[in-house]
Structure 1
Amino acid sequence: MLLVLAIKTLVLGLCMLPISAAALGVGILFAGYNIAVSRNPDEAETIFNGTLMGFALVETFVFMSFFFGVIVYFI
């Protein structure tokens, strides 16, 4: 039983890795947005819409990973 708990804890810890990768990805995404807007300020709204879609996609994978880890840990 202790081995199963240890494996579940390890899986939960490994599911937290995408959260750190997503933080890096969001930083790169918005840095690219700032560079793009500074080069072409007239298209700021269009670029921002694409940036928000990318942000939503990244965060979706973070939440999926987190919920997968929680489900594995508690079931």
Structure 2
Amino acid sequence: MSEKTDHEESVSRDEAADLLQELAREVRGEGPADIHVGNKMLALNPSSVLEYGVEVEERSPMIGGDHEKITVTLKWEVEDEA
């Protein structure tokens, strides 16, 4: 079964940095990570080894202004609890 929760909002650069730092604090260390997604709290269980990816997209569309986008991906296998 697959379940997806997503959220987008406009924030300042400082607010974006604060949100990334909060995510980093939760991922760091051991045990569950409480991740805020909009007004929802998700308890995730990162393993000790994660797949990490960064994708940068730079677009110059024919209509509208230029856009840049960074997507950071963290992925892991959920370990069975003993």
The higher radius of gyration belongs to 1
Greater fraction helix: 1
TM-score using structure 2 length: 0.28
Q: Relative contact order, CA 8 A, sep 6+: which one is greater?
A: 1
TM-score using structure 1 length: 0.30
Greater fraction strand: 2
